[in-house]
Structure 1
């Protein structure tokens, strides 16, 4: 390069096995000396040659001897070792080495050391395993480790999910189980949504800042009123089989339920009987209505328009009417703003059949609207409202009355409409 002291390509001497090109050694002279064009071309060719030699001399990780790579892989844990095995075929075979995995297996699953034993149980287990390394096929201890880890997680989950809530028929500690087995690297697709389907028919409500839309199943989308940009997304997931859906699926494919085996209906001529409903109307941590209703039934003659009606709370029975506790509204919050959508809430429904099996479960945002349907059998001093939910398996209809004196809503009617197709599929019958 050009400096105040002249042109001196000293860096050429740093390439191993190469000296400066012929005619270049005499380039270093006093200040102001400039090389000829031929010498410059010669120097450029020599630099390119040095660059190629340097690239050839560089040793890539894949070019290392297998013994060195095995030594490096021995310092990795199980997760990183599995990741390394995804690089290429050679790394996969090296990362499945039995000597590496038997150490990981023994460390993870060796019996605990007893206080009264002198010998190390871990060392004994390792020595026994090392003796059988020659008899095992490549990757044997890797497979054993993975199988044992899966069995260990399943045992932990089964232990947590064993206690069942007698009212909902669902595991009591399902939230603890999800926290125990979930890891940040695990992803499972539960449902697919298309935000392009947002229309006025899915509008749930609005306040001064946002308007909210509902997408089935149970997704609430908030858009800013001013520019209709996305404000927040809120998912409402029912606890029924949430464990399977969130862990047994993949990032692209949701978990599919196993084929349903019909349950035996011991008295199909009497219709549905002995059903139990647990309903929770809430807004996040605030619950407005939470109750369990037993011994629900419906006769076969109650079938109408492809639905079987289950009456939970009747207009005529005043003793069944219950109030909503608190001010009904769906709270939302972003990093900057927060608000509440009036008359909106989340409804969780769990319906158990006569044997205690979950028959119909959902969690979805619902909206309270002024009722326009006439009611000949009821005479209430107050404005009537209704809440409706519908999906492929059934419908829920809720009637409420606003009592001005006490400033609260009273539930005066609650009915479930179960799809006949769902009942026939459940019991293998023909209603």
Structure 2
């Protein structure tokens, strides 16, 4: 009887990719995914340590898996495992702790995988597939623990990325999302001592991927403002519908003084100038962002500056996070920590601004043909499908469920609160 496998992933797209990499390697030697309610012989947990809550949730999941799968070995990987390996190893039934993601091929080898994969061939039952192209971060933002647990920056070989993308497209995935811990630094580690004209950049990778045959589109995951270069914008503009006209550019705050305390690398005006360049270069692009509210010492005036910057940037979506003091980071020990009540009030205000900005952006897309990845039946509208447009706006439209996973062209005629209607 085949051995049964359970995988659990916490955190980011990079973690989701790495879990799938391990899962596919194990399935290739005979493991089968355990069904709901079925006990597993092996559990793999990919942890997150971005917040203290991430650590806590990781521990809870490991303990629950040990309780529900009493005979299982548990392998723990991810950023929490890297940060506190002894703490993780002491949890019930943990047989192995992977402290460095570069060890994943070795992990598979210890389980008997002979043909170590260089990438993925599928991405489960998802409508889109992620490709991790880069790892590691050298920045030192005062609120972030990730550079401490993923400090080694490296980029995957272009040939491996292209071959992986070809396999995924051949297996039916119509949207490929490029992701990394610091996506915009793709290639930086390989450019030392190379003449500038030979430098490897994200823009060159995008151009290489766009030359691949097949019916698919690319989307970039989170990127820093300084890395949205003219060359990258040119590459996306040249690609037409092959690359989604969507940038997720991390702002974090719209106050120069807060950005200095965060140890970010630019001021607000430079960020806004980069957003303006995106809008001037591309046709009605979606610009989304992350914002932290209630950073230590954030005054009412500084928060108002953030609100104004969001309006000026014309974001179509804002991922808002109340500041969470992460032990081990400078921001956790800063004076003038903002109260939970104030963070809640500011979050509510920012959500209202986001709703207005989203409504304004959706209005610009009415009557515009959009490429939409059909993903599921709309739960509140039987006989209608819901999908994600190239410009990251959800779209509801008529269609059969058999169209799931395909890219269709639809033209929205109206906008609801949270989606376009076509």
Q: Give the TM bin, normalised by the shorter chain.
A: under 0.3
- Structure (1/2) with the larger helix percentage: 2
Normalised TM-score (structure 1): 0.17
- Structure (1/2) with the larger strand percentage: 1
Q: Which has the larger radius of gyration?
A: 1
